[in-house]
Chains A and B, each alone.
Chain A
Amino acid sequence: MENLLKDLSLLNAVSGDENDVRAYIIKTLENVNCDIETDNLGNLIIYKKGRKTPKNKIMLCAHMDEVGFIVNGINADGFISLSAVGAISDNVVYGRQICFKSGVTGVIGGKPVHHLKENEKDEQPALSSLYADIGAVSKADAENHVSLGDTAYFVSEFCSLGDDLIKGKAFDDRVGCAIILDLLLLELEYDLHFIFTVQEEVGARGALAATYRLKPDYAVILETTTACDIAGVESDKQICRLGAGTVIPFMDKGTAYDRELYNLAFETAAENGLKCQTKTQIAGGNDGSSVHKTAGGVRTICFAAPCRYLHSPSCVIDKNDFAEMRVLTEKLVSKIANM
């Protein structure tokens, strides 16, 4: 499953441009007996039969898209301006290598530190004031490699850190995609529906159409969520912690999760000796915000892997959390199947 995450996270699929991830998923499922459909928006809608038929129609959901950049201008000297697709903090863009869809590399830079006034050294320049430099010498030269509307993404290595951590880009939400793919590659206990959605980072949009099409009774959103368990942050502000297991939120900015499912998830984790935690702050949101309100309402729960430095080029997760989240997903599905 870690190899799936590596492959998936190194692919580039900024919201609205999810083709590479979609193609990888379809290819990986080539020899798997399941129904795969791509809808009008580009969502993948998949059904796979299991050994048993559940009492309820259950849907698992992960989003294919990631935060990134879109080209919105090229100046006379061939410097490229960008805007963020999804929420990218100005904190993490200055001094980065990025790659455009054409495969061309650029760097985001600007005024050298030596030319900054003392107070400017503490300020993070806004992306709107910065340019990407591909080495072009003129607008026409740049246009040979980059066009308005092209997407661009962080260049970032996938690697291990320390004892149990892994670091890479786009773990939000290739973690969810990898878990679903891994489930699909093996025999299922119950018939299940799956959606790999588009445009989550621009307002959980793809999930709305895909959920409407399936009209499930229950949904499990597989995600990542912000962990702030880093140096200098007090425990009440850490939200969740790496290595403390699957995050099961009771509420975030988009969804008040089903209380019965929430309790069931904690019970299931305890029964199986799996670590889990909740989020200690009402923050963030995900496809659940669309899913639970669709087609007369869907009872929804979310499992998330705690992730440090979310929406940066250096997402960091604990591999044990990731592995346990997959197991907990399977166990909870079995419970819901018989509810």
Chain B
Amino acid sequence: MNLTETLKTLCTSPGVAGHERSAGRSGSASEAALKLLSAYMPNAKIDSFGTVKGSIIYNENLPPEGPAPLLLLDAHIDEVGLIVNFIDEKGFLKVSGVGGIDRRVLPAAQVTVWGKEPCKGVICTLPPHAQKSEDKTVKEDEIYIDCGFTKENAEKIITLGDSVTIDVKFTELQNGKVTSRALDDRAGVAAILYALDLLKDKKLNYNIAVIFSSQEELGCRGAGIAAYGFNPDLAIAVDVSYGDYPGAKENTSWKLGGGTMLGISPVLDRTLFEKMKCIASDNNILYQIEVMNGKTGTNADVISLTQNGIKCALLSIPLRNMHTPVEVIQLSDIEATGQLIAEFIAGVC
């Protein structure tokens, strides 16, 4: 598996929360992820909420002690973006944010509106001399897109409720880093696919279910719905977390290239955490520890409360500039995350 190509396919497919299946139709994020997952899980499909799910269950070869436990792997397929609310009399589109968007990136950004056909546009911004206060960014309720259409022509292609993504070229940086939008959390999706690739033809200690869940950015909705159906024995959520940047504190940001981030928090299972740590050490997999003091802000929070409660671990990939079109990750951190998952599933530790 070519990790960069996989990541590029995932990141260039639109999937604003709630539009994981519908945006860009056949090229949507869920469709792209389904295609990739099907190579390892022929039973993969997209559920009615846009979550991609699949499984490898060894019912036919039950070990003497009974069926192997079911492990759920989760990463979210959706991304933050914008949604069209209103078309004004001159054809400008009024939009609002979906998920915790960073409004600082909006002025003059090029975007694609996923209408009947994809339409390009630019987010309206005033030049400095026409602004009341130059150091303020666009207000939450004043975000407009300039698509260059009259109202009449805009309405032929664009419907209220269409999703919008910010255009950016998926680009490789130095030292195995890449930049794109939506690396949160397509990097996590890629890490799970990377693990499945390592596990090809291996004997597995677990039955595995995978969900690439929808609507995480709206409050981890898709993962809860999909995890309910599988009711796994244990789960690993894979997400991104805060990468280092100049001026960042060491205990609130983690090094790109420092390996996978093992989460520990009151809501995560300590035995799984210790086991992960042990596997990483024994296999020389680079890791760093992320300590949180309660909820993690990831799907682990809801998966752990599914049905009767599920033991949950959290692996994160350090990412810079979260929720911007210039998110940055290092490929080796995705690989480390995938390796750790694969060792957990097939290893001897």
Contacts and interface: CB of A to CB of B under 8 A. Distances in A.
Interface in A234-281: 237, 239
Given A79-B246, A105-B171, A145-B174, A231 B110 contact: no
**What DSSP secondary structure best describes chain A's contact surface?**
loop
A96 B123 CA distance: 14
Interface in A284-332: 308-314, 316
B173 A135 contact: yes
B139 interface: yes
B326 A113 contact: no
Contact of B109 (A95, A104, A131): A95
Interface in B1-52: none
B120 to A, nearest CB: 6
A107 B177 CA distance: 12
B137 A122 contact: yes
Nearest to A121: B103
B175 A136 contact: yes
A192 interface: no
Interface of A: 75, 77, 79, 87, 89-92, 94-97, 104-115, 121-126, 131, 133-137, 141, 145, 155-157, 159-165, 167, 226, 228, 230-233, 237, 239, 283, 308-314, 316
A12 B56 CA distance: 52
Contact of B242 (A112, A122, A233): A112
Given A91-B107, A121-B104, 8 more contacts: A95-B104, A95-B105, A97-B325, A111-B245, A161-B121, A162-B148, A164-B148, A308-B146
Contacts of A92: 107-108, 125
Contact of A316 (B126, B137, B148, B175): B148
B177 to A, nearest CB: 4
Contact of B136 (A122, A157, A161, A311): A122
Interface of B: 88, 90-92, 94, 100-105, 107-110, 119-122, 124-131, 134-137, 139, 142, 144, 146-150, 153-154, 167-169, 171, 173-177, 179, 242, 244-248, 252, 257, 297, 320-326, 328, 330
A152 B125 CA distance: 22
B100 A113 contact: yes
Nearest to A239: B130
A105 B126 contact: no
Nearest to A90: B135
A309 B131 CA distance: 12
A316 B122 CA distance: 8
B326 A91 contact: no
Nearest to B247: A111
Q: What 7 A-B pairs come out closest when comparing CB atoms? A: A162-B148, A95-B105, A135-B173, A109-B321, A161-B148, A312-B108, A107-B326
B257 to A, nearest CB: 7
Contacts of B119: 161-162
Contact of A233 (B130, B320, B326): B130
Contacts of B244: 77
Contacts of B328: 107, 109, 133, 135
Nearest to B142: A232
A124 B136 contact: yes
Contacts of A160: 120, 148
B169 A97 contact: yes
**What DSSP secondary structure best describes chain B's contact surface?**
loop
13 contacts: A91-B131, A95-B109, A105-B171, A107-B328, A109-B321, A122-B137, A124-B104, A131-B245, A133-B245, A230-B92, A239-B130, A309-B122, A309-B125
Nearest to A126: B135
Contacts of A111: 245, 247-248
A161 B108 contact: no
Of A91, A124, A131, A226, most buried by chain B (CB within 10 Å of CB) is A91
A216 to B, nearest CB: 31
Contact of B107 (A75, A97, A312): A312
B173 to A, nearest CB: 3
Contacts of A135: 173-177, 328, 330
Contacts of A89: 107, 125, 127-128, 134
Contact of A95 (B124, B129, B154, B326): B326
A239 B149 CA distance: 21
Contact of B321 (A75, A79, A107): A107
Of A145, A159, A230, most buried by chain B (CB within 10 Å of CB) is A230
B173 A228 contact: no
B124 A237 contact: no
Nearest to B104: A94
A314 B108 CA distance: 6
B160 to A, nearest CB: 16
A316 B146 contact: yes
B263 to A, nearest CB: 15
Contacts of B149: 162-163
A147 to B, nearest CB: 15
B214 to A, nearest CB: 21
Contacts of A156: 110
Contacts of B167: 157
Nearest to B126: A228
B169 to A, nearest CB: 7
Contacts of A133: 173, 245, 320, 328
